[in-house]
Structure formats: C-alpha cells, structure tokens
Structure 1
Amino acid sequence: MSSESYVIGIDGGGTKSRLYVADLSGAKLGEATGGPTNLHAIGEAAVTESLRSLIGSATEEAGRRIEDCAALCLASAGADRPDDRAALEQIVAACGIRGVITVTNDAEPVLAAGSGGREGVAVISGTGSLAYGRRASGLMARAGGWGHLIGDEGSGYAIGAKGIAAAVRAYDGREAPTLLMPRLMEHLGLSRMERIVPYVYQSAGKKEIAALAAVVHQAYLEGDEASARILKEAAEELALMAGAVIEALSFGEEPLTVVCSGSVFANMNYIYATFTELLQRSYPLAKAVLPDTDAAYGAALLALLSLQDNP
C-alpha cells in the first residue's frame, strides 16, 4: 500500500449517514454527512446515489483518490443479512472502491468505537434499543431490537410511551398525581388531556413518541415518582438485554467491556448509573463505558482491522 492509502468508515442510517476518512494510523483525514444508505429505507438506486455523493465529497475534502482507498466498512441496520450484504458490497464496488469491503450491522461499529476492537458487548438505546455481542472468534449474539410494537424495551420510545400512559392513568385517578400530566400537556401544546388521543394515534410517529423521553427525564429531575419508576424500569430492561448476550457468549467469568450508546445513555445519567450498578452486581468483571467517538469512527476502525485480516 502507498503512503496515500486510507480507509473509510460509514455509519449508514435510514434518514442520514456519517462517513469518516482515516489514514492507516487511524488519524482523521476527513468526514461527511449525507443522506440515508439503508436499503430498506430507500432502495438500491437511491443508496447508490447517496453513497457516491458521500464518498466523493469526503475523499475530496481529504485530498485522496478513491482508487487509493485500502478498505471501507459500511455499517447499517440489517446489513449483515446475506442478501443485503451482497447488494451493498456490489454498490460500494460500483462507487470505485477497490480495497477490502466490509458490510456489517449497525451495532458492530458502536462496539468498536467503545472497545477499540471487535470483542465485547454493545447496548444501544436511542429511539429503539438492542444489545449485541461478539467474541474474537466471530461468534455473535443479540437481544432486543424487535421494534417498538413488540419490543424496544428501555428505549426512548418505550420511555415516552410509558410517560404518556402514566399521565393518562393519573388523569383518570387510577394512579397518584404525576408531573407528567402537566409537563406533557405543556410540551405538546394541549389545552386538555383528551387531546393526547388524536396526537398519539393520528399525528405522532415513533420518533415523536421517543422524543417525549426528554419530558419524562425532566419530570424525574423535578422529583416525580412516576418518572423515576419509568426510568428505573428502562435501566432494568437494558440490563436484561446485556445479560442475555453475556450469557449467550459465556462472557460472565472474564473481563468484559460493555459499550453503552445512544441518546438515552448519553442524556440520562440516572439510567446509565442504574444500568452500570445492575450490570456489575451480576457481572463484577464487566465494565460499562460511554464511547467518546461515534459509530462512523468505529466503522473506520473495523476497516483498519479488515486490513489485518487481508494482508
């Protein structure tokens, strides 16, 4: 490889994507943000156009030629399914990448960003939630990630939905009064509580409900008992997910890094602290960490590691 060789990491989402360009020591050369690159969100043609634009703008900023890219890692939800992986590999190659191409799920770069490698467990809680783990041998396991209708426990969506439920139960007199009722009405601009029904069932989508987790957290900071209970339950659910993956991979009796990622962990210290306490109670050798780099960097790190696998 020449002195101009470099790697690319892409955190490919359903609404936007981030790209990180690094030299072979991992130092940043450039970055870019662009449109979605998830096949199931926009289809192959649109993904191809989005990736061409993203890779082109980032390599231009970095002052590098596309043909000098030694490795690229694209991470996207569900991309580790064989059909999706094959389609994305072809799209990346069509963009002019001649180096090692790695296509993987969206959890593996999170794990790499927080642990510096491929082994460990990642627990992600943002709009949705899931836990993912990998051993150095390649053995993988996951828990959660079943979507907001039947899963996503401990996620922003679950917290927001439980906040609404607690507010209407208090309004009915089925539970003790809670700050969630006036705080949600104020946040949503509702003149009366009954107006929450058309909001939930006609106006709000998954992201809008997940955004209400911030209202629950604020009510907790103001001393609201119902909000504290909701956040505690969220931490317990996330700890259950982590435990399921730890057990599936037989990590329990050895030192282990558990990477905690997503807006819930990042913005709600009570959940992170409670999760950490529960984790270490069951697995004393496990260490929870918040990554100080993003998934695009983690994908670039995976691209660098792929060069070791393909010398």
Structure 2
Amino acid sequence: MHVLAIDGGGTKTIATISTCHGQIMALAETGKSNPTSMSFEHFTETITELINDLKRQQPQEFQHITKCHAGLSGVTENNNEKITYALLTSLLPKDCQLSLSNDGMNALYAGTLGQPGIVQISGTGAITLSIDASGRIERTAGWGYIFDDEGSGYDIGIRTLKAVFKAFDKRGPETLLTTAVLEYFRLNSVPEIIEVVYGEGHPRDTISPLSKVAIECAKRGDGEANTIIDQVCHVFYQSIDACYKKNPFADKQVKVVLAGGVFNELELFTKKLIAIDKKNSNQYDFVGAYSLPVGGAALAALNLPYDEAKLFIDQYDASMKKFLTN
C-alpha cells in the first residue's frame, strides 16, 4: 500500500508518493494550485503535470497507490471541491481512496500528527482552522488581502510601511524600520518607496516580504517593530479564540500550530501569544510544525493513531532529507 500526499498553496505545490511506513519514493513540485485564483485550464494543467511527474519517476509504484489526500488552497470554495475530485480521480489508480481539504488541514496535521487542534497560518495570507475529534472543521479569517488577512505577511508589510511614512512625516516616532526598508528596496529616500510599491509587480508580492524586515527589527529591539508584532499577535489570538468558540474542544489544553513563513521566528511569536493567553483563558498550547505540510497531508490520508503517526512522520521526514540531498 502506498500513499500520495499533495500540499498546494498560492505559491507552490508539492506531492510525494510514500510507503505506509513513511519511505518516500517520489517527489514532485510545481507552481501554485489555488483554483480560485487561476483559470480552470491552468489548474487542470498544473495538477496533471504534478501527477504525471510522479508517475514518470515511479511508474510501477504509482499503480500501488491506495490512498491520497490533497490539501489545496481554495479547494473547498465555490464548486472547486467537485471539480478537483473529478480531476484527481481521473488521474489516480482505480479504487484509490481520495480525500480533499483546504491546505490548512495539512499544516494542522503536520503539527498535531493527525490529532484535533487549531492551526494559525500566516504567510502571504492568513487563516485560522480548527478540527475537533469528530472531524468537524471550522475556520475564521482568511477573507482575502483587500479587506482581511490580518496578521499575514502582507498585513505586517502594510503596517511596516505606515510606520516608515509616519516617521518620515514626523507623525510618528523614529524607527529602525526606515533604514531597514530602504536597504531592502535599495533606495535612498522614503518617497522613492511609492514608485516601487505601485510599480509593475503586484503590490501584495512587493509588500509581503517586508514582514521579515519588521520581524528582524523587532528582534533588534525597535519599539515600532515590536508594536507591530504585538498588534498582529493580538489579531492571531482573537482569530484563534473565535475559531475555538465556533468549535469547542473537550481538552483543557488545545494545541495551536503556528504555520507559515511569518512564523519562521517561532520563539518571538510564541512568547507574545503565551503572555496574551495567560491574561485570558490560559488554554492554548502554541507549537510549531513537526513536519512539512505535505507530511500532514500524508497523515490525513492514513488516519493513524498518534503513536503510529509519530513513527510514520519520523521516517517520512528522515526520508525527505535523504531524498532532497540525493
């Protein structure tokens, strides 16, 4: 028995074929696979190319795939789930057990090893997702960068630019963010930022990476940068708590997985979130991901008990490292 795991988001998509013990036999990567932000033709082409790549690598083992989980951004919206199910069914071996979810489930299971919990994702966008013991799924936030996605890389970038412009106008305090942003864009003055932001590229792609600038300045003790991180941590906590209230758990301590590029500096965020939680419910256990999201997709397909899931993911991660270095 082999398992096919797919993790797809707004930037890239990764898929693996592995044994039920976690030994990876094939790995493929391609671009984004969000059916809400690309044409049906482009989405079909992307998924087909991904599956065919795996098939070319292991044509014999591909036929032994019995379970597949695809966690894709946007798949549960509109009619995308039905379309994606039909597409993957046409590409996979007959009688393969297929399940679909938002990519948030992959990130959650990569941290809880297939157990119930809450995941706070923050990358270019941001969303909160919870899954209880019965498999019921709830979500909060993640309604798009134009009017939501608070706490995302884009949101942090916007807050960073606001602090820089206010400092330049003397409407706000001086901040290390000014020099850091100018160095990042390789500019000489604050007014030049406008041309970059409103240039040829999408503003979201230009602004989102500034979250790294803010986080680095916060680590260096800058007051404005730390205010920004404090603000988004309160936003995260509000969304996490709202998700919990929509989907309460029986456990006194609920595991909350922090996933996505914004949380690369995990300790910075966990310290602030723990401090907020102590002033409120004191019921959340904030953790980073145990594995890559694609590993969480494999666990979603297999539905293993915790101890077996840990054995699987340990082997999966070790196999992934070997696979990538060969």
Common fold by TM > 0.5: yes
CA offsets 1:11-35 (integer angstroms, 9 cap, x no match): 1123321012221233333322123
- Given the superposition, is the C-alpha separation of residues 36 and 222 from structure 1 closer, same or farther in structure 2, using an over 3 Å criterion? closer
In structure 1, what is the equivalent of residue 307 of structure 2? none
- Deviations 1:94-139 (CA, angstroms, capped at 9, x unpaired): 1133201111111111111111115110000111111110112232
Match of 1:209 in 2: 207
* Cα distance in 2 between the residues matched to 1:96 and 1:138: 25
Q: 1:64 to 1:44 in 2, by over 3 A?
A: farther
Does the 8 Å contact 2:266/2:288 carry over to 1? no
**Conserved? CA contact 1:153–1:234, under 8 Å:** yes
Are residues 65 and 125 of structure 1, via their aligned partners in 2, closer, same or farther at CA, if it must alter by over 3 Å? Answer: same
- Aligned 8 A contact 1:108 1:118 in 2: no
Change (3 A) 1:55 1:197: same
Amino acid in structure 1 at the alignment position of 2:39: G
1:13 aligns with 9
Of 85, 89, 101, the residue aligned with 2:85 is 89
- Cα distance in structure 2, aligned partners of 1:210 and 1:268: 18
Match of 1:262 among 260, 263, 274: 260
Aligned AA for 1:21?
I
Q: Which amino acid aligns with 2:164?
A: A
**Counterpart in the other structure of 2:42:** 46
Q: 1:289 and 1:30 mapped to 2: Cα distance? A: 29
The 2-side partners of 1:149 and 1:50 are apart by 26
The residue number in structure 1 matching 2:244 is 246
Where 2:79 maps in the other structure, the secondary structure is: helix
Which of 218, 223, 228 in structure 1 is aligned with 2:216? 218
Query: Alpha-carbon deviations, 1:33-81, whole Å to 9, x = none?
Result: 1233222333333333322332233344456443321011111112123
How far does residue 215 in structure 1 lie from its aligned partner after superposition? 1.3
Asked whether 1:117 is paired with 2:114, we answer: yes
Distance 1:276 1:263, change over 3 A: farther
2:47 maps to a residue whose letter is L
Tell me by how many angstroms 1:280 deviates: 4.9
Q: Distance in 2 between matches of 1:94 and 1:241?
A: 38
Matched, 1:198 2:195: yes
> Structure 2: which 5+ residue stretches go unaligned?
305-326
Equivalent-residue separation in structure 1 for 2:55 and 2:275 (angstroms): 43
SS at structure 2 position matched to 1:282: coil
Alignment of 1:1-311 (within 5 A): 5-62=1-58, 64-81=60-77, 83-98=79-94, 99-203=96-200, 205-251=203-249, 254-267=252-265, 269-305=267-303
Contact kept, 8 Å, 2:69 with 2:100, in 1: the verdict is: yes
Deviates more, 1:241-250 or 1:17-26: 17-26
User: What is the one-letter code of the residue matched to 1:213?
Assistant: S
After TM superposition, the structure 1 stretch with the greater mean CA deviation from structure 2, 100-109 or 79-88, is 79-88
C-alpha spacing 1:82/1:207, structure 2 compared with 1 (3 Å): closer
In 2, the alpha carbon distance for the partners of 1:252 and 1:190 equals: 53
The one-character-per-residue Cα deviations of 1:156-198 (angstroms, maximum 9, x if unpaired) are: 1111111110111011111121111122122212222112222
Query: Identity, % of aligned pairs?
Result: 25
Number of paired residues?
A: 302
TM-score by length of 2: 0.86
How far apart are 1:252 and its partner, in Å?
Answer: 7.4
1:284 to 1:220, Cα distance in 2 relative to 1, 3 A: closer
Partner of residue 309, structure 1: none
1:296 deviation in Å?
A: 0.9
Question: What is the CA distance between 1:140 and its match in structure 2?
Answer: 2.0
Q: Measure, in 1, the Cα distance between the counterparts of 2:111 and 2:185.
A: 36
Contact 1:234 1:271 in 2 (8 A): no
Distance in 1 separating the partners of 2:112 and 2:83? 29
Name the CA distance, whole Å, in 1 between partners of 2:71 and 2:269.
Answer: 27
Q: Against the structure 1 CA distance between its residues 223 and 286, is the aligned structure 2 distance closer, same or farther, given a 3 Å change threshold?
A: closer
The answer for unaligned runs of 5 or more in structure 1 is: 307-311
**CA-atom RMSD in angstroms:** 2.1
